[in-house]
A and B are shown apart, each in its own frame.
Chain A
Amino acid sequence: MSFFVVVSLIMGAIFAPLLAPYDPFDPATLNLMNGFTGPLTPNQFTQDVFVLGTDDQGRDVLSTILFGMRISLFVGFSAVFLAMILGVILGLLAGYIGGWLDAVIMRVADVQLTFPSILVAMLIFGIAKGVTPAEFRDQVAIWVLILAIGLSDWVQFARVVRGATLVERQKEYVQAAQLIGRANLAVMLKHILPNVLNPVLVIATISLALAIIAEATLSFLGVGAPPTKPSLGTLIRIGQEYMFSGEWWILFFPAITLLALALSINLLGDWLRDALNPRLR
């Protein structure tokens, strides 16, 4: 079930240009007269009907959601990928090499865990905003967002990989590879890495939901995706301005989409964890 929801949402995001009835980013197709049209009710001036209504600019909410999900999922996947690469490499090094390298990596991780990850992300975002010239800010905003979420998320990957590496390193197949003179890098990548990947996949799925929510939170706070390229979080931020004036659909539909996306990815992660756990099979 969750699998079905995730797949259909991702498909919707991928094929947004084909599925969306309007292009919300093309000002030429927008008619300001269509602003604040309710769901499935004809507009009072133009008689146009929008399935999920329109926002203040007259943009079709369904289309903005489909395109917003693209941004959200892209940021989520990229950020988790970055966090995963970083965490797996650092975790492998910490677990396999050990010694002072292990101490340094894991203390950095511990320190970072004492901050809420959203704070770390905002810090990185703030620094990046300070160093990029104003005219590029909107273009690089997405990449900064990925970097910020990715860098604030690597810790749990590193911890799990380090723990699993410590266990695998003691096993005799690793010693068998060492004694024939395999280089440390080869032992790490060819022998240990394949055996620590199961938990990484599970964390990656759960992190994906968290990263999408983190992205939405940052965008909601106004430090994430710019309004010209709205993600689900940006849409929710725009929508909450109209929450008490009766135009509930501008907030409600992006919010429910975000909820469905995050929840189904989480459930998928739980299922994956059980499926990959040989003791539960």
Chain B
Amino acid sequence: MSVIVRAKALRRLFDVSKPWLNRVVEREPKAFLTAVADVDFEIEEGSVYALVGESGSGKSTIGKMVVGLTSATDGTIEIDGIAITGNDQKAKISEARQKLQMIFQDPYASLNPRWKVRDIIAEPAKLRGLEIKGLPERLLQQVGLSPEDADKYPHEFSGGQRQRICIARALSSEPKVIVCDEPTSALDVSVQSQVLNLMSDLQEQLGLTYLFISHDLTVVEHMADKIGVLYLGALVEEAPKETLFASPLHPYTRMLFDAAPRLDGFGREIDVPKGEIPDPINPPPGCSFHPRCPLATSLCKTVRPQMRLIGDTRVSCHHV
């Protein structure tokens, strides 16, 4: 198995400063929001890598950086060994980016309402110069819709059907890696599993690699091979699915598992997660999780923990 996506020391800042005049008058420095802070990960070809975390943990930003919708402030992303974050060798970068596709969260906003489904699905293939005759019909069948749907407009479909069209569009440029940004969180639970199963089947048939972004642990358990847990833009724990679900090491991961609703959990006392995710403009010093951590000591308040390898888990905590 070879590594197809490699992110190194990935960092993304957003300028959230007040307008120039306000800063001068109020004597405030420029303010930056750290959405992604020094994230490293590798995704093996043909596997599903899931990023989980609360809202604002930077998971969508990472997905957008991987497909090139947002530029990285620092660090590199390599696709098949080609760095796509630099500025040199534009031709090589665009060739590497052709291996990428994305499935978006909101199926109601991700299809152009004025385009026929046929044109929507064919567009990525057309741009790559692939043969598009009969392609939309074939892809529609592959995602479980009928070929006649090609001549309809997106508003004639339900949310689940639209997400299937999005999957067909993503497949049309024959990508190797698909970034799935919460692909089912806008769908009904009954439709979610159908779409997830379809995505699993396609992944196996076509040998695809998924970067699967979600906040839903049950969905992640169903889909992922390897899971990375994000907290305030930083990876706090990364492990194969079985290891992570059997023995979560980081206190934040444990907190997430305790908070997740479970079918066998009726009558169980739920430990409600304490506190909110801190302000990413002024992150706490040391370990960014220490204000909410039950294990926090004075060490955690001053020294930022490094990633350590324990078994096949990578974790950044002083206390494991």
Knowing A173-B109, A175-B69, A181-B94 are in contact, say whether A194-B114 is a contact too (CB < 8 A): yes
Out of A171, A178, A180, A195, name the residue touching B173 (CB < 8 Å).
Answer: A180
Within 8 Å of chain B (Cβ to Cβ): is A176? yes
Q: A142-201: which residues lie under 8 A (CB-CB) from chain B?
A: 171-173, 175-182, 191, 194-195
Kindly list chain A residues whose C-beta atoms are within 8 Å of the C-beta of B94: 181
Not counting A178-B69, A179-B69, A181-B97, a sample of 7 additional A-B residue pairs whose C-beta atoms are within 8 angstroms of each other reads A171-B110, A176-B169, A179-B101, A180-B98, A180-B124, A182-B123, A194-B112
Assess whether A182 is in contact with B106, with CB atoms less than 8 Å apart.
Answer: no
Q: How far is the CA of A172 from the CA of B104 in the complex (A)?
A: 7
Assess whether B112 is in contact with A173, with CB atoms less than 8 Å apart.
Answer: yes
Out of A172, A178, A181, A182, name the residue touching B110 (CB < 8 Å).
Answer: A172
Within 8 Å of chain A (Cβ to Cβ): is B127? yes
Assess whether B111 is in contact with A182, with CB atoms less than 8 Å apart.
Answer: no
Assess whether B68 is in contact with A179, with CB atoms less than 8 Å apart.
Answer: yes
Within 8 Å of chain A (Cβ to Cβ): is B288? no
Q: Mark B36-78, 1 if CB is under 8 A from A, else 0.
A: 0000000000000000000000000000000111000000000
Within 8 Å of chain A (Cβ to Cβ): is B213? no
Kindly list chain B residues whose C-beta atoms are within 8 Å of the C-beta of A195: 112-114
The 5 nearest A-B residue pairs measured at CB = A172-B110, A194-B114, A172-B104, A171-B109, A173-B112
Q: How far is the CA of A210 from the CA of B306 in the complex (A)?
A: 68
Assess whether A172 is in contact with B173, with CB atoms less than 8 Å apart.
Answer: no
Count: A-B pairs, CB below 8 Å: 50
Q: B151-173: which residues lie under 8 A (CB-CB) from chain A?
A: 166, 169, 173
B interface vs A, CB < 8 Å?
67-69, 94, 97-98, 100-102, 104-106, 109-115, 123-124, 127-128, 166, 169, 173
Q: How far is the CA of A179 from the CA of B69 in the complex (A)?
A: 6
A interface vs B, CB < 8 Å?
171-173, 175-182, 191, 194-195
Q: How far is the CA of A181 from the CA of B112 in the complex (A)?
A: 16
Out of A171, A175, A181, name the residue touching B127 (CB < 8 Å).
Answer: A181
The residue on B at minimum CB distance from A170 is: B109
- List 6 A-B residue pairs with CB atoms under 8 Å apart, sorted by A's residue number: A171-B110, A172-B105, A175-B110, A176-B102, A176-B104, A179-B97
Kindly list chain A residues whose C-beta atoms are within 8 Å of the C-beta of B101: 179-180
Knowing A179-B102, A181-B98, A195-B114 are in contact, say whether A172-B68 is a contact too (CB < 8 A): no
Interface centre among A175, A176, A177, A191 (most CB of B within 10 A): A176
Kindly list chain A residues whose C-beta atoms are within 8 Å of the C-beta of B109: 171-173
Assess whether B100 is in contact with A182, with CB atoms less than 8 Å apart.
Answer: no
Q: How far is the CA of A180 from the CA of B104 in the complex (A)?
A: 14
Kindly list chain A residues whose C-beta atoms are within 8 Å of the C-beta of B127: 180-182
Q: How far is the CA of A3 from the CA of B106 in the complex (A)?
A: 40
User: Whole-angstrom distance from the CB of B30 to the nearest CB of chain A?
Assistant: 18
Assess whether A177 is in contact with B123, with CB atoms less than 8 Å apart.
Answer: yes
Q: How far is the CA of A176 from the CA of B101 in the complex (A)?
A: 8
The residue on A at minimum CB distance from B112 is: A173
Kindly list chain A residues whose C-beta atoms are within 8 Å of the C-beta of B166: 176
User: Whole-angstrom distance from the CB of A193 to the nearest CB of chain B?
Assistant: 9
The residue on A at minimum CB distance from B102 is: A179
